[in-house]
Amino acid sequence: MRIFIKFDFNNTCKKILEEKLEECQIKHRILGFGEVEFLEKVSTEKMDLFSKSLDRYGIEIVENQKTILIQKIKDAIVDMVFNEDSAVNVKSSVYLSEKLNHSYGYLSNIFSEVTYTSIENFIILQKIEYTKQLIINNQLSLTEIAFKLNYSSVAHLSSQFKNTTGITPSAFQRIINKRREIASKK
């Protein structure tokens, strides 16, 4: 038997952080996605324990300032793309500049320098991942998905999807439906 699972990446990570901080008995406050403020002095032993407990989930503590900014950029992009409100209809450059209090040029240069890719490419990758989730969850049509992700047209979404994945969103949809059909017969 096979089942399909829908999950919210942001909530999952936040829940893991909460649980691990409580297990390590660290007084804290979660400020935003991927940002925690300690409300007490944390011993090296507790910090090591906390770090190791996050390791098994692929979560790591970031300490370098450039790496921290890159992570904040990535988190802001994920938040912008996966935002359920669809209220984020501003240009990504404006959104990132306002959210992170830096000029977009500065953010773009740092991001490219550290990740060897552009912010635009990272945004496209996140949009395509979200498109895949929406197709798998079978909740929206391609037109609705294109609108939700601020694409000018379904053709534009389809073009970026095919350039990124090698197949069209319609072909991806057919593959998912075929897998469901096969799974339901088992």
What residues does each domain of the chain span?
1-61
Residue with more model confidence, 10 or 144: 144
Judge if pTM exceeds 0.75: no
Residue 71 has pLDDT above 60, yes or no: yes
Distance from the Cα of residue 179 to its chain's centroid: 25
Share of the chain above pLDDT 70, in %: 95
Q: Nearest to residue 127, comparing CAs of 83, 95, 85?
A: 83
Sequence-distant (6+) residues with CB within 8 A of 121 are none
pLDDT tens, residue by residue, 110-159 = 999 989 999 999 999 999 999 999 998 877 889 999 988 889 899 999 99
Taking the alpha carbons of 87, 88, 91, 93 in that order, is the dihedral positive or negative? positive
